[in-house]
């Protein structure tokens, strides 16, 4: 697996149909062997990008490059890509063997080799021995594995997955997620994955590309995107966040102090570049807001509060806290869950705060 | 309401039986009388015989009409199916200017009274200064049956999701290979239905055929019609029975075939 050199590159690509621009001037680099996820709400253009890389949507502008070759004018059947759809799209009139062998037939592979490679592909997706079955005889999860086998058996330059897990039920989805990742790792195949499910995106990817309204809002490692959202949209879309408006009232070397409009002052560490008096929004992940019994901790950013409401989530609990500051918090339940009306202390680490300017863009790094 | 025993319900049952009697009694009578040995037959039947069928088999005019009907029917079915698949593919899978118009025009022969169509084609032929011929008759039948084939194939094609074709393309099959390997097999039940529909419609047609057939050429229905003008012979009953066997039997066989071809498909 050679990382670094890109397998897929988009250069200022614009996509659309019938006068509607779905994707505008997008740049994207997918290094060889990596798993990149396009994440965003429906209509953000993620599927359109995937289909453009596949060759199902023509580029109105810019360049699409696969393995150093400009493919804008290369028809889909000559692009050597593997495509997996949300609803499997297995050929219902062909057996599993014929489905998986389909792509090999058009690559001039001889019969014996086809048989060997189909068998190996079915082994990889852990469904050996189903060659003679029809797709309708398999469960949804099995069908999706066959679809995956059919796409990888041709050893494509890039594997394109269009929400492949969203037709499966919750338990199966999680299982398939783990498996998908391990298959991708085993084969070292460059993969572009489209989803609107952020958990999937964070769990699977080397790189998450968050999109909105046909533009890339942020691209980076899952942790980076989650912890340091580059914009208000990313902060809001990814995970549960508190977005607290306020004003910078003090700037020091290591950080800044924000007076929150809703009351209270909060010390943030990432204020590099913030100006005194600037209007900002402070982003704090609900998971990083610590709810403790009163008088439990010492340090900066301690607030007294009261539990306004509780939602029990199993291992976690989601609280709405009112008091010095009003925040949402999602915490692991340590010994006991706090009840409505309980007095609590809220603590927020300065390094868990991100500042956004009045355009909704992150200040500093 | 006292459910099944009520007089209203009984009336509905009786009425249903009457409706079915009205629909099927003439057919049953035709079939039964075709086995009646009497020359000027009526009920009660005097026995059972295949005599009228043998006489039919020896009747040159009838055989010639049968051959004509089979030929025209088969060719109409073939041409309509080819054209129908092509038209449906264009109308469902591609975007082009004037698509709605072409769609409407293709279907319009169903909406226009057959007599008008028949006269229209004849006038057109007169304008071209061409004589009536078998080819013209065939073209006429194609015009009459094409809408049905297009409708049937189109309906099925809309139901075949595009992702199947996209999957085939992504795996390296070109457009033609994709059509041959994926679209056509999935379309097969509709294609078979279209063939049968075209054949039976052509085989059955009377009105337009009367206008279009060249002098001296008869199809089965027009043959029966002209035989009726002379006399009511039991041969006609036998001929009718044969027609029923063909027009009912073919779709039944076709449906069974379609089920066989379509097995395993959702």
Residue A258: strand, helix, or coil: strand
Q: Can you read off the two tokens belonging to residue B115?
A: 């007599």
Stated as kind and residue range, the H or E segment containing A277 is none
pLDDT (tens digit, 0 to 9) for every residue of chain B, 266 residues total? 455 568 888 999 999 999 999 999 888 888 888 887 777 667 777 777 888 888 888 888 888 888 888 999 999 999 999 999 999 999 998 888 888 899 888 888 888 888 898 898 888 888 887 777 888 889 989 999 999 999 999 999 999 999 999 999 999 999 999 999 999 999 998 998 899 889 988 988 888 888 888 888 888 888 888 888 777 777 788 888 888 888 888 878 877 877 776 665 54
Q: Can you read off the two tokens belonging to residue A17?
A: 């149909």
* CA dist., res. A183 & res. A161, Å (int): 13
Quote the distance between the C-alpha of residue A269 and its chain's center.
Answer: 26
Mean pLDDT of the residues in chain A: 90
Interface pTM (ipTM) of the complex?
0.85
Residue among B169, B182, B185 minimizing CB distance to A77: B169
A58 in reach of chain B (CB within 8 A): no
Contact A76 B164 (CB under 8 A): no
Q: Can you read off the two tokens belonging to residue A40?
A: 């965003």
Identical fold at A6-231 and A240-356? no
- The domain locations on chain A are 6-231, 240-356
Cβ atoms within 10 Å of A295's Cβ, excluding its own:
10
Local structure of residue A314 (DSSP, 8 states): S
Stated as kind and residue range, the H or E segment containing B18 is helix B7-33
Q: Which CATH class is domain B51-261?
A: mainly alpha
Contact A154 B177 (CB under 8 A): no
At B266 the pLDDT is 42
Does residue A3 surpass a pLDDT of 50? no
Q: Can you read off the two tokens belonging to residue B259?
A: 């089920």
CA A74, A78, A79 angle in degrees (round to 5)? 75
At B239 the pLDDT is 82
A71 in reach of chain B (CB within 8 A): no
Mean pLDDT to the nearest integer, A206-220 = 94
CATH topology for A240-356?
OB fold (Dihydrolipoamide Acetyltransferase, E2P) (2.40.50)
Counting DSSP H helices and E strands in chain A, the numbers are 8, 20
**Nearest-CA residue of chain A relative to B182?**
A91
Mean pLDDT to the nearest integer, A59-83 = 93
Does CATH number 1.10.3720.10 belong to domain A6-231? no
Query: Which residues does A192 contact at the CB level (< 8 Å), separation at least 6?
Result: A8, A30, A36, A37, A38, A50, A53, A158, A159, A160, A161
pLDDT category of residue A2 using cuts at 50, 70 and 90: very low
Stated as kind and residue range, the H or E segment containing A38 is strand A35-39
Contact A76 B166 (CB under 8 A): yes
Distances (CA, A) of B114 to A329, B74, B201, B209, B211: 76, 21, 13, 10, 10
Q: Between A and B, how many CB-CB pairs are < 8 A?
A: 73
Does residue A54 surpass a pLDDT of 50? yes
At A147 the pLDDT is 95
Residue among A106, A134, A150 minimizing CB distance to B173: A106
* CA dist., res. B171 & res. A150, Å (int): 8
- The domain locations on chain B are 51-261
Q: pLDDT, tens digit, for every residue of A335-364?
A: 778 899 999 999 999 888 889 988 888 887
Q: pLDDT, tens digit, for every residue of A303-327?
A: 999 999 999 888 889 999 998 888 8
Residues of B in contact with A91 (CB under 8 A): 164, 167-168, 181-182
Residue pair A332/A315 in contact (Cβ under 8 Å)? The answer is yes
């Amino acid at each position: 697996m050679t990382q670094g050199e890109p397998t897929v590159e988009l250069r200022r690509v614009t996509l659309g149909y019938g006068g509607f621009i779905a994707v505008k001037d997008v740049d994207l680099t997918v290094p060889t062997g990596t798993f990149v996820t396009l994440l965003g709400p429906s209509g953000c253009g993620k599927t359109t990008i995937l289909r453009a890389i596949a060759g199902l949507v023509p580029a109105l502008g810019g360049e699409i490059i696969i393995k150093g070759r400009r493919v804008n004018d290369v028809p889909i059947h000559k692009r050597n890509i593997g495509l997996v759809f949300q609803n499997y799209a297995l050929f219902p009139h062909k057996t599993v063997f014929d489905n998986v062998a389909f792509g090999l037939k058009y690559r001039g592979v001889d019969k014996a080799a086809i048989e060997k490679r189909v068998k190996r592909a079915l082994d990889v997706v852990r469904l050996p021995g189903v060659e003679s079955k029809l797709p309708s005889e398999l469960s949804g999860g099995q069908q999706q594995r066959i679809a995956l086998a059919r796409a990888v058996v041709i050893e494509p330059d890039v594997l394109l997955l269009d929400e492949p897990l969203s037709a499966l039920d919750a338990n199966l989805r999680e299982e398939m997620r783990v498996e998908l990742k391990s298959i991708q790792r085993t084969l070292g195949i460059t993969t572009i994955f489209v989803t609107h499910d952020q958990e999937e995106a964070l769990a699977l990817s080397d790189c998450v590309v968050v999109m909105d309204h046909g533009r890339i809002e942020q691209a980076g490692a899952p942790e980076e995107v989650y912890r340091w959202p580059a914009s208000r949209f990313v902060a809001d879309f990814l995970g549960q966040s508190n977005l607290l408006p306020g004003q910078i009232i003090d700037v020091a070397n290591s950080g800044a102090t924000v007076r929150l409009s809703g009351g209270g002052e909060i010390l943030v560490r990432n204020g590099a570049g913030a100006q005194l008096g600037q209007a900002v929004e402070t982003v704090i992940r609900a998971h990083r807001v610590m709810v403790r019994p009163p008088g439990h901790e010492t340090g900066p950013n301690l607030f007294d509060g009261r539990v306004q409401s509780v939602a029990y989530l199993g291992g976690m609990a989601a609280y709405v806290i009112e008091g010095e500051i009003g925040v949402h918090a999602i915490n692991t339940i340590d010994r006991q869950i706090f009840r409505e009306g309980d007095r609590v202390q809220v603590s927020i680490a300065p390094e868990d705060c991100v500042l956004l300017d009045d355009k909704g863009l992150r200040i500093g790094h | 309401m006292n459910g099944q025993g009520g007089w209203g319900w009984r009336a509905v049952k009786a009425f249903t039986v009457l409706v079915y009697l009205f629909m099927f009694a003439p057919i049953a009578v035709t079939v039964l009388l075709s086995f009646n040995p009497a020359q000027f037959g009526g009920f009660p039947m005097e026995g059972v015989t295949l005599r009228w069928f043998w006489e039919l088999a020896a009747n040159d005019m009838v055989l010639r009409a049968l051959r004509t009907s089979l030929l025209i029917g088969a060719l109409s079915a073939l041409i309509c199916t080819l054209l129908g698949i092509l038209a449906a593919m264009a109308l469902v899978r591609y975007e082009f200017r004037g698509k709605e118009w072409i769609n409407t025009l293709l279907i319009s022969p169903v909406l226009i009274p057959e007599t008008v169509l028949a006269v229209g084609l004849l006038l057109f032929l007169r304008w071209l200064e061409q004589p009536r011929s078998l080819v013209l008759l065939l073209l006429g039948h194609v015009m009459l049956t094409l809408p049905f084939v297009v409708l049937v194939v189109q309906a099925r094609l809309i139901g075949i999701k595009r992702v199947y074709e996209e999957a085939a393309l992504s795996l390296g099959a070109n457009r033609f290979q994709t059509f041959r390997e994926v679209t056509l097999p999935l379309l097969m039940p509709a294609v078979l239905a279209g063939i049968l529909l075209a054949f039976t419609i052509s085989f059955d047609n009377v009105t337009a055929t009367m206008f279009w057939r060249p002098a001296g050429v008869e199809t089965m229905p027009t043959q029966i019609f002209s035989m009726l003008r002379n006399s009511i012979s039991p041969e006609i009953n036998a001929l009718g029975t044969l027609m029923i066997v063909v027009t009912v039997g073919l779709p039944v066989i076709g449906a069974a075939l379609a089920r066989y071809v379509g097995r395993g498909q959702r």
